[in-house]
Amino acid sequence: MFKIDFFTKKSRVYSLILCTIMLSGCAHKNLVNAGQQLMTQQQYELAVAKFSAAANEQPENQETQQKLAHAKEQLNRWAVYIEQQAKHAEDSQQHEKALLLYAKAFQLTRSPTANQRYNDLHQQLKKQSMLSVSLSNEGIDVAPSVIHSIDGLILSTSKPATMLKFSQSNPIFEIQQSTLTLQTQYISGSQVIANPELLEVQHAVGQNQHRLRDKKAKANRLARRVKSLQNKQQQLSATVRSLETQLSANNLSDVKRSGIEKNLASANASLSTTNNKLQRQQHALADLQHEVADLRQHTNALAHNLAHLPATAEIPVYSDYQYPVQQQVNSLTSTLYLLVNNQVRPADISVESKDQSHPTHPTIDLAENPMVVMNKAQLSPLLMAQRDKAIRRLLNELVDERKLGFYYQSNQVISSNDKLANLVKHGLITKSGAIKEASDKLKQMLILEYGRGGEFNINRLLHLYQ
């Protein structure tokens, strides 16, 4: 037994090892096939990833290592070509295109030159794409730190900068009062009713008695059936004994003996059938008698409880109670204005404080609730905080408009270089990068011009060090 168990376990281990090897072989083959297909499509960066995964599956496979080395060589050649094209684009004043190409070249080769040129161009183009603004000395004094905190804005003192002037209307303090009528319930008395628990127990007793009568009748029918089967059993047993006595005689002819044996076999078969029926009926009768006993016991317990339950019960009476509540809302509102490019951009700001009050109501055990609301002086700091949020919101809207403006301009220009330049500025202005439509367009433009040797993840290329 031990040997059989040992060899069974051993065969299972071998099976698991074999399955693992087969699965690994399938995965390796699939990765290699995918890499080869990518090589035929000149997608070298993706091919390197597939061959690298295949080499991890089977490190000793020389053929896979050779394919991986060849893919890396082709990718490196493409990367060198991309860096050369980046230099050519920069010399041709196509700085936005050069930025993307230098970024891709540095990603693949870690070239210090590509890295340096990328950083210089990124700093230059980022500054050009951002909205340069200056703050007016008039109106609301906005701290320079607020401008610095807005992604896409740059604070400048030079004349071409967009002048921003914030102003605010005088805050209006209002008090609104009203009266509400609330309603609740309270216990105003009690009333005597028929005890619901008593009625429930009476109903249960009646149901049990009805079930008890049904089960007793069923038990009586089963008992009569058992008695009938017992009588039949006795008769068949007597017949069997009589036939066995006749069969033991010595002077029986063969014909006579054969007839007695046939009758005996028939009697024994009938007796066996009767015994089986009798046994089943006796078991059913015993089960039913147990059910009758349990039901009678439960009924007696209910009857005992019924005797000790009061006939009536006292329940509370609930009545409606209405009471007035004073409500007050103190509000402080104003309008913030941003003047930019001879256009006024308004933003409504408001804060409020509200509460309810009512006197004591002993009937419903309700304590006094005094009115607690902020006055104008207390609401003023909250309004200032809302104003600061509104300022940031308006500034972010300016950045969003400039960002979308670059995208819309890219759709209107004819030159592909101008289109690419606007799309790059669109993606550079904020750290969130280009929207999907813009990044997809840039990717397609680069693929058409430089192939699919490497993957152009536009937002990653725009913000390498974010």
342-370: per-residue pLDDT in tens?
899 999 999 999 999 999 999 999 999 99
**Is pLDDT of 4 > 50?**
no
Residue 183 lies inside a defined structural domain of this protein? no
Residue 7: is its pLDDT beyond 60? no
407 in a structural domain: no
**Number of helices (H), then strands (E), in the chain:** 12, 6
pLDDT confidence band for 16 (50 / 70 / 90): low
In a domain, 292, yes or no: yes
Q: Residue 361: give its domain's CATH number.
A: 3.30.160
Instruction: Work out the pLDDT band at 2, boundaries 50, 70, 90.
Output: very low
pLDDT at 12: 58
**Whether residue 339 sits in one domain with residue 294:** no
Same domain, 387 and 286: no
If asked whether residues 173 and 246 sit together in one domain, one would say no
Q: In this structure, what are the phi and psi dihedrals at residue 429, rounded to the nearest 5 degrees?
A: -60, -35
378 and 301 fall within a common domain: no
3-state secondary structure of 379: helix
Decide if 6 is inside a domain: yes
Is the domain of 244 the same as that of 153? Answer: no
List the beta strands (DSSP E) in 341-410.
Answer: 343-357
Who contacts 144 (Cβ-Cβ below 8 Å, separation ≥6)?
Answer: 135, 155
The CATH number given to whatever domain includes residue 214 is 1.10.287
Q: Final residue of a domain: which of 353, 384, 402?
A: 402
Together in a domain, 18 and 55:
yes
* 6, 125: one domain: yes
Span 419-429, pLDDT tens digits:
999 999 999 99
**Measured distance CA(383)–CA(131) in Å, rounded:** 28
Taking the chain, what is the end-to-end CA distance rounded to the nearest angstrom? Answer: 67
| Residues in CB range of 325: below 8 A, 6 or more apart | 179, 180, 181, 182, 356, 357, 358
Position 341 scores a pLDDT of 86
How much is the average pLDDT of 74-81? Answer: 97
pTM for the whole structure:
0.68
In a domain, 262, yes or no: yes
Q: What is the pLDDT of residue 18?
A: 52
- Please state at what angle helix 62-91 crosses helix 112-129, rounded to 10 degrees: 50
In order of 10, 15, 144, 319, the CA distances from 1 in angstroms are 14, 21, 87, 84
Out of 354, 386, 402, a domain closes at 402
Whether residue 6 is predicted with pLDDT greater than 80 in this model: the reply is: no
- 421 in a domain, yes or no? no
Question: Based on the domain organization, do 174 and 110 belong to the same domain?
Answer: no
- State whether 221 and 269 are in the same domain: yes
pLDDT tens for 144-175 read: 999 999 999 999 877 778 999 999 999 999 99
Structural domain that includes position 168: 144-178+327-402
Indicate whether 305 belongs to any domain: yes
pLDDT, mean of residues 445-462: 97
pLDDT at residue 158, as a whole number: 77
Rounded to 10 degrees, the C-alpha dihedral 180/185/186/192 comes to: 160
What pLDDT shows up at residue 25? 65
In the structure, what pLDDT confidence band is assigned to residue 465 with cuts at 50, 70 and 90? confident
pLDDT at 435 over 90: yes
226 and 204, same domain (yes or no):
yes
Average pLDDT over residues 39-44: 96
Residues 90 and 19 in one domain: yes
Residues 226 and 115 in one domain: no
Question: Number of structural domains, the chain?
Answer: 3
Going from the C-alpha of 371 to that of each of 183, 194, 207, 221, 452, the distances in angstroms are 20, 47, 61, 81, 71
Model confidence at 306, pLDDT cuts 50, 70, 90, reads confident
340 within domain boundaries: yes
User: What is the overall mean pLDDT for the chain?
Assistant: 92
218-233: pLDDT as tens digits: 999 999 999 999 999 9
Mean pLDDT of 374-381: 97
343-357 vs 162-168, strand pairing mode: unpaired
Q: How confident is the model at residue 27 (pLDDT cuts 50, 70, 90)?
A: confident
Instruction: Give percent of the chain with pLDDT exceeding 70.
Output: 95
SS (HEC) of 6-58 = HHHHHHHHHHHHHHHHHHHHHHHHHHHHHHHHHHHCCCHHHHHHHHHHHHHHC
pLDDT band at 36; cut points 50, 70, 90:
very high
Query: Which of 277, 309, 341 is a domain's end point?
Result: 309
- Confidence band of 23 (pLDDT split at 50, 70, 90): low
**3-class secondary structure, 182:** strand
